[in-house]
Amino acid sequence: MAKSNLQFKTNYAVSSTIEPFYKGGKVQISKDEKFIFCTCGTRVNVLQIVTGKIVHSIEQDDQEDITSFALSLDDEILVTASKALLLKQWDWKQAQCTRSWRAIHNVPIASMTFDPTATLLATGGCDGTIKLWDVVKQYCTHNLKGSSGVVHLVEFHPDISLLQLFSSASDCGIRMWDLRSSQCLCVLQSHYSPVTSLAFTPDGASMVSSGRDKICIVWDLKSRTARRTVPVYEAVESVVLLPEDEDFSEVGVKTKEIHFITAGSKGVLRVWDASSARCVFTQTLPSPPSAGGSEEGGEEYGDPRSLTYCLPLPSSLRLATVTAEHNILLYQLPSFTTQQQFVGFNDEVLDVKFLGKGDTHIVVATNSSQLKVFDLATSSCKILYGHTDTVLSLDVFKKGSLFVSCAKDKSVRVWRQDPDSGQVSCVAQGCSHANAVGSITCSRMKESFVVSGSQDCTIKVWDLPETIPETDGDMFQLTSRVTEKAHDKDVNSVAVSPNDKLLVSGSQDRLAKLWSLGAPGADLALLGVFRGHRRGVWCVQFSPMDQVLASSSADGSVKLWSLQDFSCLKTFEGHDASVLKLIFVSRGTQLLTSGSDGLVKLWTIKTNECVKTLDAHQDKVWGLHATRKDDRVVTASADSNITVWTDVTEVEQAEEQAKQEDQILKKQELSNLLHEKKYLKALGLAISLDQPHTVLKVIKESMLRYCAVWNTNARSCLDAQAVIQVMLTHLSPEELLQYQGARAHLEGLIPYTERHMQRIGRLLQASMFLDYMWQKMRVTGAPASMDSQDEEMDTASLQVPHPLFMIDKRPGEGGDGTKEQGDGEERWNEGVVEEDGGLEEDTNCPANMEEEEEDDDEVSITRKASVRGQREENGQNGKENGNHHSGSEESSREEDRGDQTEAKILLSAASLPPLQAIIS
């Protein structure tokens, strides 16, 4: 009954994404302590501290990596420098570049800083030069030379009235520059390795420098000498002075002397008393040091715990540190407790699982020995230390607060999350595998055991105690009760059945095997082998409802197997590469698979159909997991992105249903409009509904009515006549009369059509009379031979297909050309008689012309244009020879000139009789 009401999923939509925002380089915090600025390739990302979200992203147009940037102390101006040797000034709140100019450096800029007034910008280049820029007046003010190697540090003296700049380069010295004279005042020499940071006392009289030579030096800037050298026994990357007006007795500060905090290769913050050169406080790490992590090992620069930056937040009395793994941590002073953690770069994400009672968190295994637990609401992160090598796989118990992990360090660990505080601690661990542990799973019903599969080809079952410790202070040591040599190659995946009685394992040897777990203390019993994959098996999973299991392989296929006879029931093929993970959804009726092609596919088992392909990743999708409510899915990829998907099936179906209801309402409205003869609204609605036949019907219904309206106006009558001609050509009278109101519309067309025909006929009569008169005027006084030829040519040119008036000529008029003129006169009269047998109007056309001018200005304009055109043609003809060919050319030009007018007349004449016939 439950399955009959089950609704298949059809689509997932991205609800949130955790992506890289910091890949190394400079980090700066705004003065109002609300934003963190950090570089990420071609971008400078602005992270909001409260929400952990990227609120702005400043990206270079030239797609060149940003080498350095600086934010002014008033948080108004951001300047970036790229490998293209360009400096860009940004309005970072709008993410708009306001100014761009070419740096005079010949090589990329390595360091930048603003002075306290946000007027001067200092840039240190890899060519050993330092340049100062007036960002207000927009010009270079200083070019300081003398440093050796890359200038990786530039700092202004806090007292701007001194106009002093400090810099450090590869020669390990600290140069003090006088900006008034552009001269180097002195070189402070005491460090034996590059100087990493400078910190000035509030009065500006002293300065503390740090270096990778494991010492910090307190300088007296008035005498320009080293007052004290403090050995710190680690490579120091950053030094920060403690505020003098705050109480730091909690961390051992007893006097008002200079105290400073160091951050370096050991990964811990330490407080030092400059006067006694003694460490008064050492931060306690969240968990014990990694295996083999002695102090010597911890001092290596590649240690993930080593710190690269330390930034003060004086207003809120906090401290921010940046680790070598691109994590940004905020500590509250003076207790040095962790307040917030942000993961800037996850590298390759290998596994991900939902965590918490309401699946409010996710636990992530990256290409690191650290586990990361993200709060999906705020994106804040907790970093878990414990494993000493890369974590490979994760699994979560049914209740969601207990989860397990395995790693390349050959160990498995059990972790517990406090449901109230969200704190996570390691409560149990086991170490007995001979090689890296690549897969792990836990019991489905109770928190009773854990099963691990290793690259040593074995499967181990670890029993958990009935009472699991609450904290990592009393960590329980796990021992394996069963060890089984399961496969001939690496065990890639293990899974426990929903009733905790069966175990399935998938291996690189192309096989999947079914095992019986039996009673506690019993050995594993092999029940069957699933053969059929052509490449290694990456993942195996039991169905939550049916007696089947699914397996995915590097051959690009997913197979469904029967637990009864171990036969292959179905094969799903669609991925172009290895299928790395699979899970059952929709109560076992659908599958979600992820592959090396970066795609996630949703399959319906019953139909073998791929319902949806989700494309949000650019690399292998290693992690895939669904919530217990089956409404969200999380995917993790080698492209460092973690994506949370939400099931939008019901939302899309609701939208589709609402769309269908809207379509029904619109169709009903369309029917009503057609019934009410509101054709204009009906036409628009039919087009929006994409109903071409209805659109055609509406057009047919309204076209005659529109033509009747257009035909009443002389300006639009030609368009109406063109439409009428098309309709009369393609539609029979019976079809025309079927349209509603067709007879009334046709009756309205006839009188106006007759009027337009008469008007245009009169226009043609007048224009032809003028043509004829002009011909007579042109040949007056010409020789007889020329008169004869011209007369013959002119009369030939006046032979139009449909002459509408006659010319009365007396015999003998015209001299020698009377014979030809008479012939032309006979032809003219014959043409008239053949057409209509004569016209009703008199040939006194000037009177008709005046009457027409009074009636319609358009006729006068057309007449003038006709006369002007005829004059131009006659003037050109007068230059040619009077042979018969010229007569034919003139006739051709006459036909071109009068083509439009004749077409209009013929159109009107052709439309009128059929209309009258239809009405009668």
Q: Tell me what pLDDT residue 867 has.
A: 40
Q: Which pLDDT score, from 0 to 100, does residue 521 have?
A: 61
Instruction: For residues 458-485, give the mean pLDDT.
Output: 84
> Among 438-442, 459-463, 464-468, 727-731, where is mean pLDDT lowest?
727-731
Residues 6+ apart with CB under 8 A from 292: 388
Nearest CA to 588 out of 548, 647, 553, 635 is that of 548
| Residue 296: per-residue pLDDT | 38
Element (H, E) at 89: strand 86-91
- Residue 913 confidence (pLDDT): 63
Identify how many contiguous H helices and E strands the chain contains and give both numbers: 13, 57
pLDDT digit string (tens) for 754-802?
Answer: 888 888 888 888 888 888 888 888 766 555 444 444 444 444 444 444 4
Q: Is the pLDDT of residue 885 over 90?
A: no
For the cut 90, the answer to whether the pLDDT of residue 238 exceeds it is yes
| Helix axes 884-897 and 899-919, enclosed angle (nearest 10) | 50
- pLDDT of 826 above 80: no
Cα Rg, the chain, nearest whole Å: 47
Beta bridge partners of 405: 394, 413
Question: pLDDT tens, 911-920?
Answer: 566 666 665 5
Judged against a pLDDT cut of 80, whether residue 863 lies above it is answered with no
Q: Is the pLDDT of residue 811 over 70?
A: no
pLDDT given at position 602? 95
- Matching residue, tokens 């043409």: 831
The reported pLDDT for the residue numbered 286 is 62
Q: Smallest Cα–Cα separation from 638: which of 367, 280, 247, 844?
A: 367
Instruction: Please state, in angstroms and as integers, the Cα–Cα distance from residue 593 to each residue in 496, 613, 719, 870, following that order.
Output: 19, 10, 63, 83
Of 667, 663, 759, 669, nearest to 713 by C-alpha is 759
CB count within 10 Å of CB 546 equals 16
Question: For residue range 73-126, what is the model confidence (pLDDT) as tens digits?
Answer: 999 999 999 888 889 999 998 888 999 998 888 899 999 999 999 999 999 999
| DSSP annotation of 869 | H
> 3-class DSSP state for residue 573?
strand
Nearest residue to 362 (alpha-carbon basis) of 633, 674, 604: 633
DSSP three-state, residue 316: coil
**Mean pLDDT confidence for 253-279:** 91
- What mean pLDDT comes out for the span 654-669? 84
Q: Are 208 and 195 contacting, i.e. CB atoms less than 8 angstroms apart?
A: no
Can you give the pTM of this predicted structure? 0.69
* pLDDT score for 882: 41
670-690 pLDDT tens trace: 788 777 767 667 777 777 777
CA gap 327, 381 in Å, rounded: 10
Burial bucket for residue 884 (CB in 10 Å: 0-12, 13-18, 19+)? exposed
Cβ–Cβ < 8 Å for 49, 69: no
pLDDT band at 868 (very low <50, low <70, confident <90, very high): very low
Tokens of 187: 């070189």
pLDDT tens per residue across span 734-760: 777 777 677 777 777 888 888 888 888
Which residues make beta-bridge pairs with 463?
A: 449
- 10 Å Cβ neighbour count for 140? 14
Q: Which one has a higher pLDDT value, 288 or 917?
A: 917
Q: Which two tokens stand for residue 721?
A: 């006549």
Per-residue pLDDT at 856 exceeds 90: no
- The sign of the CA dihedral 424, 425, 429, 435 is positive
Banded model confidence at residue 453, pLDDT cuts 50, 70, 90: very high
Query: Which whole-number Å values give the CA distances from 265 to 235, 450, 619, 626, in the listed order?
Result: 6, 37, 33, 39
As a whole number, mean pLDDT of residues 373-381 equals 86
**In residues, how long is the chain?**
920
The predicted pLDDT at position 781 comes to 53
Report the share of the chain in percent with pLDDT over 90.
46
Distance CA 601, CA 511 (A): 23
Average pLDDT, the chain: 81
Crossing angle between the packed helical segments 692-710 and 717-730, to the nearest 10 degrees: 130
- Of 240, 258, 180, 79, residue with least CA distance to 165: 180
> Distance between CA atoms of 127 and 104, rounded to whole angstroms?
11
CA distance 196 to 859: 93
Q: Are 470 and 416 in contact (CB under 8 A)?
A: yes
Q: Confidence class of residue 287 from pLDDT cuts 50, 70 and 90?
A: low
Structure confidence at residue 827 as a pLDDT band (50, 70, 90) = very low
More confident residue, 910 or 424: 424
Encoding tokens for residue 364? 């992530």
Position 661 confidence tier, pLDDT thresholds 50, 70, 90: confident
Question: Which element (helix H / strand E) includes 818?
Answer: helix 818-835
Q: Is the pLDDT of residue 908 over 90?
A: no
Task: Note the pLDDT tens digit of each residue in 689-733.
Answer: 777 777 766 766 677 777 888 888 888 888 888 888 887 787 777
Give strand pairing partners of 90: 78, 97
**CB-based contacts of 358: which residues, under 8 Å, 6+ apart?**
none
Close Cβ partners of 524 (under 8 Å, ≥ 6 residues apart): 459, 461, 482, 484, 486, 503, 515, 516, 517, 518
**Strand stretches in 859-917, DSSP E:** none
Q: What is the pLDDT of residue 828?
A: 35
3 state DSSP class of 231 = strand
What is the C-alpha to C-alpha distance for residues 9 and 592, in angstroms, rounded to an integer? 11
Average the pLDDT over 192-210 and give the result: 93
First vs last C-alpha separation in the chain = 73
Predicted confidence band at 485 (pLDDT cuts at 50, 70, 90)?
Answer: very high
Q: In this structure, are residues 528 and 512 in contact, taking their beta carbons and an 8 Å threshold?
A: no
Cα–Cα distance between 425 and 414 in angstroms, integer?
Answer: 9
* CB of 578 closer than 8 Å to CB of 595: yes
Beta strands in 698-844 (DSSP E): none
Q: Scan for tokens 């810099």, then name that residue.
A: 167
Hunting for tokens 């360091």 — which residue is that?
111
Q: Are the beta carbons of 806 and 775 closer than 8 angstroms?
A: no
Q: Is residue 530 within 8 Å of residue 566, measured between CB atoms?
A: yes
Residues 6+ apart with CB under 8 A from 200: 155, 157, 158, 206, 207, 241
Residue 915 sits at φ, ψ, to 5 deg, of: -65, -45
Q: What is the reported pLDDT for 920?
A: 55
Kindly state the DSSP code that residue 107 receives in the 8-state scheme.
S
Token output for 82: 């790229």
Q: How many CA atoms lie within 13 A of 43 on its CB side?
A: 15
User: Cis before residue 692, ω within 30 degrees of 0?
Assistant: no
Residue bearing the bigger pLDDT, 695 or 595: 595
What are the two backbone dihedrals, phi and then psi, of residue 54, each rounded to the nearest 5 degrees?
A: -80, 115
CA 291/CA 289 separation, integer angstroms: 7
Phi-psi region of 608 (alpha: psi -120 to 50; beta: other; left: phi over 0): left
